[in-house]
Structure 1
């Protein structure tokens, strides 16, 4: 188990009420949300850096990435037409 640090956060009352409806492990839920946001931020930083160094992504590259992310590629590897 990884080390933890106790912190205090302030959230709108409505969010806390909805959060408690969703889980009895608020700390775990918030930790996963923070981890997801960190991954999102780091990925965005990596993508921006890549485009600064290599130029903008081509439409084909973006379509391939979306297919991988959203699982829209068929078994032969072709993407669904959008």
Structure 2
């Protein structure tokens, strides 16, 4: 089991109520959401550095990236549904 640290998080009441309707594992749900946000932030920073070094992405590069993201999302969705 991974090391854990207990923290207290304050949420708006309506969000907490919705969260409780979605899962009985609040810690797991929040940990997954935080991990996803961390990945997003790290990727954003890496893309910013890449553009600083090599210039802005072309329309073709952006289109290819979107195709890859869409395909990965479909695979993830299919995996979760199985």
Q: Which gives a bigger RCO, structure 1 or 2 (Cα 8 Å, sep 6+)?
A: 1
Higher helix proportion (structure 1 or 2): 2
The separation in 1 between residues aligned to 2:10 and 2:31, in whole angstroms, is 15
Q: Distance in 2 between matches of 1:4 and 1:30?
A: 13
Count residues in correspondence: 71
Paired position in structure 1 for 2:42: 42
Structure 2: unaligned runs, 5 residues or longer: 72-82
Looking at structure 2, the residues matched to 55 and 21 of structure 1 have their Cα atoms a distance apart, in angstroms, of 45
Superposition deviation, residue 26 in structure 1:
0.2
Correspondence 1:6 to 2:18: no
Tell me the CA shift for residue 65 of structure 1: 0.3
Unaligned runs of 5+ in 1: 72-82
What TM-score, normalized by structure 1, do the two folds share? 0.85
Residues 1-82 of structure 1 mapped to structure 2, 5 A cutoff: 1-71=1-71
Cα distance in 2 between the residues matched to 1:8 and 1:46? 30
Q: Which runs of 4+ in 1 moved over 3 A?
A: none
RMSD value, Cα: 0.5
